Amino acid sequence: MPRTKKAPPSRPVCPTCAGEGQTEALLIVGRGKNATHLDTWAFCFDCDGTGHTPEGR
């Protein structure tokens, strides 16, 4: 039986963004009764948007 090659180990996934490269963010615009909450996405600075942890972490 021929030997099969093992796939190289995958890079670890960033725990902050779960590999998506961006995280959920909540913006509050305005003050008091006029405040508006906006759900949006923000760039993940922990992994520089790659979705993987940098080497050496």
In the block, which residue shows the tokens 């520089």?
48
pLDDT for the residue 55 = 66
Cα distances (Å, whole numbers) of residue 40 to 54, 56, 57: 25, 30, 28
Q: Per-residue pLDDT tens for 30-46?
A: 999 999 999 999 999 88
Block means of pLDDT (10 residues each) for the chain, 57 residues, are: 76 86 92 94 88 70
**Residues with Cβ within 8 Å of residue 25, at least 6 apart in sequence:** 39, 40, 41, 42
